[in-house]
Amino acid sequence: MAVTGAQIIARTLRDLGVTVIFGIVGIPVVEIAEEAINLGIRFIAFRNEQACSYAASVYGFMTGQPGVCLVVGGPGVLHALAGARNATTNNFPLLILAGSAETTGVTKGSFQELDAISLLTPHTKFAVRPSSLDFIPGAIKNAFRTCWYGRPGSTFVDLPADIIQGKASPGFQLPEPENIYVASPPKSSGDPALILKAAQLLRSARAPLLILGKGAAYARAEQVIGQLVERTQIPFLPTPMGKGIIPDAHPLNVSSARSAALKNADVVLVLGARLNWILHFGEPPKWSPTAKIIQVDIAAEEIGRNAGNAELGIVGDINLVVEQLLVTLSNWRYSTTSQFPKLLAESAKKNEAKAQKAALMPTPRSPDAFLTYQRAYHIIKTTLNSLSPSSSSEEGNIVYVSEGANTMDISRSIFPLSQPRHRLDAGTYATMGVGMGYIIAAHEAYNTPVGTIANGKPKKIVALEGDSAFGFSAMEIETMARYRIPALIFVMNNSGIYHGDTKTEDAWKVLQEQTVANDTKSSGSSAASGNEKRGLRSTSLLYETRYEMLATMCGGKGYFVRSEEELERATREGFQNDVPTVVNVIIEPGVGKTIQFAWQGKDNKEGQAKL
């Protein structure tokens, strides 16, 4: 029997070591998915291409190998573009495969016709369309290698229907199976002269600081970075997805004194992070204008960006560069009695006391009282930790997923981690809607036999979702139920985007009054007054939407929570449930509060003390 294009594609993916594919099938890619399943590849079928492309991208981050996404052409590619851009911006290795119109039908208005190569090229590292069945293995192999090598990102392979459904010539033979089709990316050490220069700068620093980004987590550099911190005693600051490279509980972690650390550091070693918006571009007023920044990156074009200094940057693999620094900094240790550690300790003490006060403030027993973010998170955290020592985040048995402005920002400092790649959030692209896909990807990576990093120790996936962010991909709850993924999902429901509004019925009443007033005004009357200024706000969502019912309708469990007692019970039961669980937590709407990320706000006087 003649070999089909779908069989060649599936076989190529298996030979590349692919064990799971995230996607949505339809004509003509369903044949690829079925052939992949026949070869033992696990196929996870989603409800929307955005969610499956997000899942595939973060799977690449967690496993260190490319995630694979399979979608239909046309609108399927348009939706998957979100994941392609998310992967490229976050530097996650992602291979997207998509069907397309028959080559003979191009420009004729074929079914779901789209020039996908032109669309995807600006947003990927590589986009290709194989011209025949013979070129399929080479095209996929090159796309797989390119998304993985150098700075990771996304690549795209366009597969016309006639290629997928076509049959090879009678003499065509599939190659013998190969276990490793593409070797792991090569690694390079840093320039010895620059290593020496960086070591000299750190030795002479009054206020040195390490910044640990998600690139260091992706590189699996936690062991060597831990040695660097222990030997040198340099304070470190993790970015949100760099948390856990060194346990958050480490005494040299200065996350609680973030502003003070950035403002006063004079020599900063940046490992696996970029000087982008998350780090305020390395510029004043958040940073000292005289700070010397040593960037370590695998991409030369990143060195010297924004406030970086090209003469100080080191191009190389983080593991190898840090090993070189350890040798060069041998027997040197930063003095913890200097003024900088004292300043950081004072700032951290003040900020932690403020956070602790908010967390311990009980919710008033009143029908009109609301839980706050801080109080709700405190209850969730203490309940999870009380179940058993092995359930705590400190033990590394919980993977946290978080998205939504305040939901994500506040949770970042409340839920500590001891392991890297155990916190997944909106990332560099600040993408809303990634949460449900990230949950599924984390389950596939950690809790299934085909998971690249499965180690026999199951991890609970706990998601902290803003109500707006949850809405982007909430239907993937059905996907979780179908694949028996027992995630625990908290929807922090303030009935709005950033913040909510008053009760919806009150807002509608005002809106109706406004409409009547405007109608009267338009008819020539002066009866309309200040009502034009009110009504449903652009940030308003339906008041107290019953999101938990999405879980119950799929056979999962749902909890509607308005009190501390209800939240404690829902957390305890939800953690132990073996089905998807949604806890709908009603919190304060936050009417009238400033719309911003707390740590991205305007500069303040805190942490500006002179050394």
Q: Is the whole model's pTM more than 0.75, yes or no?
A: yes
367/237: higher pLDDT: 237
- Cα within 13 Å of Cα(324), Cβ side: 21
**333 token code pair:** 């240790």
What is the reported pLDDT for 526?
Answer: 47
Fold of 361-520+532-586: Rossmann fold (3.40.50)
604: confidence class by pLDDT, cuts 50, 70, 90: very low
pLDDT at 409: 92
pLDDT at position 611, please?
43
- What letter represents residue 352's amino acid? E
Decide if domain 192-348 falls under CATH 3.40.50.1220: yes
> How many Å apart are CA 222 and CA 245, to the nearest integer?
5
pLDDT digits (tens, 9 = 90+) for 236-287: 999 999 999 999 999 999 999 999 999 999 999 999 999 999 999 999 999 9
Question: What's the CA gap between 331 and 470, in Å, rounded?
Answer: 50
Q: Which two tokens stand for residue 142?
A: 């090159």
Confidence (pLDDT) at 605: 46
Distance CA 144, CA 231 (A): 38
Q: Give the domain 5-165 fold.
A: Rossmann fold (3.40.50)
Encode 578-608 in three state secondary structure. CCCEEEEEEECCCCCCCCCCHHHCCCCCCCC
Helix or strand holding residue 157 (H, E): strand 154-160
Query: Rounded CA gap, 256 and 253, in Å?
Result: 8
Q: Residue 497 and residue 259: Cα distance in Å, rounded?
A: 26
| Chain centroid offset of residue 375 CA | 24
Distance set, CA 544 to CA 220, 269, 589 (Å):
42, 46, 10
User: Would you say residue 502 has pLDDT above 90?
Assistant: no
Better-scored residue on pLDDT, 501 or 30: 30
Domains 192-348 and 361-520+532-586 share a fold: yes
- pLDDT of residue 363 exceeding 80, the answer is yes
Confidence category of residue 602, pLDDT binned at 50, 70, 90: low
Q: Rg of the Cα trace of the chain?
A: 26
Tell the burial category of 44 from Cβ atoms under 10 Å away from its Cβ (0-12, 13-18, 19+). Answer: buried
CB-based burial, 550-584: b 16+ in 10 Å, e otherwise? bbbebebbbbbbbebebbbebbeebbebebbbbbb
List the chain domain ranges: 5-165, 192-348, 361-520+532-586
pLDDT at 451: 63
- Which residues, in sequence order, are CB contacts of 284 under 8 Å at separation 6+? none
391, 575 Cβ separation under 8 angstroms: yes
| pLDDT of 350 over the 70 cut | yes
Q: Which two tokens stand for residue 388?
A: 């058993």
Q: Phi first, then psi: what are they for 392, rounded to 5°?
A: -75, 155
Band (527; pLDDT cuts 50, 70, 90):
very low
Helices 5-15 and 30-38 pack at an angle, to 10 degrees, of 50
User: What element of type H or E holds 271?
Assistant: strand 267-271
Please state the φ and ψ torsions of residue 295, each to the nearest 5 degrees.
Answer: -90, 135
| 409 vs 598: CA distance, rounded Å | 7
How far apart CA 566 and CA 213 sit, in angstroms, is 37
Report the candidate in 439, 505, 503, 447 with the shortest Cα–Cα distance to residue 469: 439
User: Looking at 382-494, which runs of residues are DSSP E strands?
Assistant: 398-403, 423-425, 460-466, 488-493
**Burial class (CB within 10 angstroms; exposed 0-12, middle 13-18, buried 19+) of 117:** middle
Contacts of 473 by beta carbon, 8 Å cutoff, 6+ apart: 48, 50, 51, 54, 433, 434, 435, 436, 437
What integer pLDDT is reported at residue 515 of this predicted model? 55
Beta-carbon count within 10 A of 418 CB: 18
